[in-house]
Structure 1
Amino acid sequence: MTVLWENIVITIIAFGILYWLLSKYAFSKLFAVMEQRRELVLGQLEEAKQTKEQANVYVEEQKAALNQARQEAYEIIEQAKQSSSKQARDLLEQAKQDTTRMKNEAIRDIENERNKAVESLRGEIGTFSVNIASKLIEREVENNPEEQEKLVNQYLKEVGSKS
């Protein structure tokens, strides 16, 4: 195989002309498009970075809001517990007071009823006593007038001391 120097020189000259034409007309436009593309990609990367930062900020804000909501819910629950405990204590205290009041009223009512019963019994006993005494007096009157007066005085003293 022989090397033709003429072909090599023509090829180098053709390549040089082609390079000069491409650099004059095509490379500047191609490089401009490539630069625009590079700037577009850099802009998109910057925008993605900002979006990611905004998303991270938003996530942190949501976490803070969630934590605050949890804290508020916990506080509401604690307040409800305290309120229910206070209401329970108040209800128990009221029930104790009502029980004490009802017990005192029942004791008073029982005492009143007992006093009424005692008075009623005294009245009945008095009536029976008078009947017995009258029967005894009748017997004694028939037998002894002096004993009758003594018996009446004694009975009046006994009835007077019981009242």
Structure 2
Amino acid sequence: MQSFTGFTHVYAALGGLHVGDMLMQLFFFIVLILLVRKFAWGPLIGVMQKREEYVAGEIEAAEQSRAEAEKSREEAAEQLKQTKQEATQIIEDARNAGTKQEKDIVASARQEADRIKESAQEEIENEKEKAIQTLQDKVASLSVQIATKVIEKEISEQDQEELINEYIKEVGEER
């Protein structure tokens, strides 16, 4: 027995190892590991798996949100581009319509001015012809009057000049 006792206290004098204590500690350590595995490790792993699934779900949701945001941004950029093109087209159409309207107004104004000018020239021509006709009528009537007066009396050169001046004066007053 002594050899067994000697075996259980290996190097005891040096502060050595007690094999019995070590076996007992090993037994309780294994029991503790089994208890921790059954009561703590399982729930801890379950919580960790749930947390991992939650984080993975959040990452996936964030990735989907980012993809949707990118898609929405691209759609908005395309709509903005299309809206700018439409606005540019509307401005160009308005500019062309304004230019066409300007040309139409200028052409219409020129036609109206030509018509008014032509009408005024015709009116001037008519008035001129009327004035000439009136003057011819007056000259004829005055010639007749002068001839009548000349016939009525014989006139000297001086009297004749006076009659002509008087005639010119009457024609001037009638205008």
Identify the TM-score tier after normalising by the shorter chain. 0.7 to 0.9
Who is 2:15 aligned against?
Answer: 2
RMSD: 1.5
- Whose RCO is larger (CA < 8 A, sep 6+)? 2
In the other structure, the counterpart of 1:102 is 116
Letter aligned with residue 15 of structure 2: T
Q: Which one of the candidate residues 84, 88, 109 is aligned to 1:74?
A: 88
Amino acid at match of 1:40: Y
Q: Matched residues in 2 for 1:39 and 1:32: separation?
A: 10
Whose Rg is larger?
2
Q: CA deviation at 1:3?
A: 3.1
Instruction: Report the CA distance between 1:18 and its aligned residue.
Output: 0.8
Q: Deviations over 1:55-113 (max 9, x none)?
A: 00000111111111111111110111011111100100100010000000000110011
Q: Secondary structure at the match of 1:23?
A: helix
Name which of 40, 44, 47 aligns with 1:33: 47
Whether 1:57 and 2:59 are equivalent positions in the alignment is: no
Range moving further from structure 2, 109-118 or 24-33? 24-33
The equivalent of 1:152 in structure 2 is none
Cross-structure match for 1:12: 26
What secondary structure does 2:15 align onto?
A: coil
Runs (5+) with no aligned partner, structure 2:
1-13, 155-175
Shift of 1:9: 3.2
User: Does 1:85 find its partner at 2:85?
Assistant: no
For residue 141 of structure 2, the aligned residue among 115, 127, 130 is: 127
Say whether residues 1:24 and 2:35 are aligned partners. no
Pick which of 125-134 and 104-113 moved more.
125-134
Segments of structure 1 that go 5 or more residues without pairing to the other structure are 141-163
Instruction: Name the count of aligned residue pairs.
Output: 140
Offset of residue 42 of structure 1: 0.5
Correspondence for 2:59: 45
Which amino acid is the alignment partner of residue 55 of structure 2? V
Secondary structure of the residue aligned to 1:29 is helix
**2-structure distance, mates of 1:61, 1:3:** 79
Q: Which amino acid aligns with 2:127?
A: E
